[in-house]
Amino acid sequence: MAKGRGARVILFNKPFGVLSQFRDKGTQGSVRPTLSSYIDVPGFYPAGRLDRDSEGLMVLTDNGALQARIAHPKFKRPKTYLVQVEGAPDAGALDALRQGVDLKDGKTAPAQITQLDPPADLWERDPPVRFRKTVPDAWLQITIREGRNRQVRRMTAHVGLPTLRLIRIAVGDWSLNALRPGAWRWASESGA
Among all residues, which ones are annotated catalytic? Answer: 51
Residue 19: C-alpha distances to residues 9, 26, 34, 109 (Å) = 19, 10, 5, 27
Q: Are strands 163-171 and 79-86 parallel, antiparallel or unpaired?
A: antiparallel
Separation between Cα atoms, residue 154 and residue 60, nearest integer Å: 25
CA distances from residue 60 to 36, 127, 160, 188 in whole angstroms, order as listed: 12, 26, 34, 11
Q: For residue 74, what is the DSSP state?
A: G
